[in-house]
Amino acid sequence: MRFDVLTLFPEMFNNFLSTSIIGRAIESNKIEVNLFNIRDFATNKHKKVDDVPFGGGAGMVMMCQPLFDSIEYVKNLKKDKAPVIFLTPKGETLDQIMTEGLAQTYRNKRIILLCGHYEGIDERVRENLVDREISIGNFVLTGGELPAQILIDAMSRLIPGVLGEQKSSEEESFSAPLNRELEYPHYTRPAVFRDKPVPEVLLSGHHAEIDAWRKSQTKPVRKKI
């Protein structure tokens, strides 16, 4: 899976891409992430990438020229039909089902992720160059960089081998169903911590009973606090 990311702030991805599971997924070539700084494509002498909105109002809008040129450049890096996905709160809300669909569709393919900043991007970019719009939830952020990282993270962990060695039967199914991921509470050593014991059944070594206990602990996702 290859992610080509267009952003004004590539440095926001540094820790994410070098740390832990995602860092190892890149090291082992299970995913590839290429960062492109939209500012590098600005042709005006001050490398300006944003301007005041027509019609007035607060904030700045990302200009057409650097966006058109950078998106076209990244599209033309390969002869594939990589979709341009714009991360925006107006997009379709990401959930685990959508993530699984994306991870399957783009298993050995490329995705272009466009991160907006400030008030957003000139609408003509959306109309002419964006194929799909995805939101990570119903809230507004200062930029699409964190949403892009969330999408990369959620998709990458579904690639066989990224989370470590799965059992072969699980590997075939490509991804675990959502309810398996949200299932039961987890415990690790010590068996007693500050007088708080681990459920006894987990120490029994009785796998059938452990499975039954874990099933009994499956709860609906906690929502709306």
Question: At closest approach, how far in Å is the CB of 147 from ligand 4GT?
Answer: 4
| Least Cβ distance, residue 126 to ligand 4GT (angstroms) | 10
Here's the x/- map for ligand 4GT, 4-23, by CB under 6 A: it reads as --------------------
Using alpha carbons, list the distances in angstroms from residue 143 to 15, 92, 120, 152: 17, 17, 8, 16
Sole window of 16-24, 34-42, 129-137, 207-215 interacting with ligand 4GT (rule: CB under 6 A): 129-137
The smaller minimum CB distance to ligand 4GT, of residues 111 and 202, is found at 111
The footprint of ligand 4GT on residues 131-170 (CB under 6 A) is 135-137, 139-141, 143-144, 147
Strands 120-121 and 50-51: unpaired
The smaller minimum CB distance to ligand 4GT, of residues 10 and 147, is found at 147
**88 closest CA partner among 143, 36, 33:** 143
Nearer to ligand 4GT, 54 or 139 (CB): 139
- Residue nearest ligand 4GT (C-beta atom): 116
What is the rounded CA–CA span in Å between residue 116 and residue 125? 11
Residue 117 near ligand 4GT by CB under 6 A: yes
Binding residues with ligand 4GT: total (CB under 6 A): 16
Residue among 74 and 130 whose Cβ is closer to ligand 4GT: 130
Span of 38-46, 65-73, 113-121, 167-175 interacting with ligand 4GT by CB under 6 A: 113-121
Within 8 A by CB and 6+ apart from 110, the residues are: 1, 2, 3, 4, 78, 80, 82
What is the identity of the amino acid at 154?
Answer: A
In the bound state with ligand 4GT, the residue whose beta carbon lies nearer, of 102 and 202, is: 102
Any contact of residue 99 with ligand 4GT (CB under 6 A)? no
Nearest Cα neighbor of 134 from 166, 95, 163, 165 is 95
* 136 versus 158: smaller Cβ distance to ligand 4GT: 136
Burial of 145 (0-12, 13-18, 19+ CB in 10 A): buried
Rounded least distance, CB 136 to ligand 4GT, Å: 4
3-state class (DSSP) for residue 61: strand
Q: Per CB under 6 A, which of residues 39..98 are in contact with ligand 4GT?
A: 87-89
Rg (CA), the chain: 22
Alpha carbon 100 to its chain's center = 12
Nearest of 73, 79, 52, 77 to residue 63 by alpha carbon: 52
Q: Which residues bind ligand 4GT (CB under 6 A)?
A: 87-89, 116-118, 120, 135-137, 139-141, 143-144, 147
